[in-house]
């Protein structure tokens, strides 16, 4: 089930819900095309369910095999063929997920205003406004800077660096659409770098539904 682990790459690594909860729930068909460092491709398809109040990201995977993935604040579960596998998760996984940032109105600044990171530099390059966010002094041995670029008042790209200034990952947000007055990118192109290897992923979202009524059994999927 290694392809399921790749789902983690579509989430941002690093709000608090001060934004009006006019938008609280999202459902979308999801397609993930990933290319490993060896050049091999994998394809994953399914449906994503996310509700701010339940604090769970639920993936109903239909291809290449049926499975349920449930990610909560501290644990995640993969359920396949009636068997449940448990692993650790991080609160940041949900807080900085694409749809949590969209629903809470924090996507344009990558949710960083609600963290100890502060703006250290702002510059303009052609049509992009690029903001560099730096970690506080006490975290500089563990965290590097994050560069966030905005184009036409929409999040365009995010680059995360390690403490030595090496790029850990890049993400580009494309093909925005508007659903119930909520602006959402429907395509994310991601590059992750690990031990000299590059992992590429293209994630696409379709049939996006905001604030769906019903289907609580999916949004609050029980792993018991």
pLDDT of residue 39: 82
pLDDT of residue 103: 95
How would CATH label the architecture of 2-219?
Clam (2.50)
Task: Residue 191: name the closest of 218, 221, 160, 212 by CA.
Answer: 160
* CB contact set of 212 (below 8 Å; sequence gap of 6+): 25, 27
Distance CA 77, CA 114 (A): 28
pLDDT in tens, the chain (224 residues): 444 444 444 444 433 333 444 899 999 999 999 988 788 889 999 999 999 999 999 999 999 999 999 999 889 999 999 899 999 887 788 888 999 999 999 999 999 999 999 999 999 999 999 999 999 999 999 999 999 999 999 999 999 999 999 999 999 999 999 999 999 999 999 999 998 899 999 999 999 999 999 999 999 999 98
Buried b vs exposed e over 85-114: b needs ≥16 C-beta within 10 Å?
Answer: eeeebbebbbbbbbbbbbbbbbbebbbbee
Please tell me the pTM assigned to this model.
0.85
State both tokens at 172. 């580009």
Distance CA 158, CA 130 (A): 9
- Annotated domain spans of the chain: 2-219
């Amino acid at each position: 089930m290694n392809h399921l682990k790749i789902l983690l790459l579509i989430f941002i690594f690093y709000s608090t819900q001060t934004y009006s909860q006019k938008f609280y729930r999202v459902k979308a068909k999801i397609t993930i095309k990933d290319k490993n460092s060896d050049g091999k491709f994998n394809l994953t398809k399914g449906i994503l369910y996310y509700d701010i109040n339940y604090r769970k990201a639920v993936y109903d995977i239909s291809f290449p095999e049926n499975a349920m993935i449930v990610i909560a604040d501290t644990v995640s579960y993969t359920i396949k063929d009636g068997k449940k596998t448990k692993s650790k998760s991080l609160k940041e996984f949900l807080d900085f997920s694409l749809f949590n940032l969209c629903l809470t109105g924090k996507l344009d600044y990558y949710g960083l205003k609600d963290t100890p990171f502060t703006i250290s530099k702002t510059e303009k390059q052609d049509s992009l406004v690029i903001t560099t966010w730096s970690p506080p002094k006490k975290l500089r041995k563990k965290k590097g800077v994050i560069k966030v670029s905005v184009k036409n008042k929409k999040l365009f790209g995010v680059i995360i660096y390690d403490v030595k200034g090496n790029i850990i990952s890049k993400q580009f947000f494309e093909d925005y659409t508007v659903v119930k007055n909520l602006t959402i990118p429907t395509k994310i192109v991601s590059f992750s770098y690990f031990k000299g290897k590059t992992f590429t992923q293209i994630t696409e979202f379709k049939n996006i539904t905001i604030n769906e009524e019903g289907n609580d059994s999916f949004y609050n999927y029980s792993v018991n």
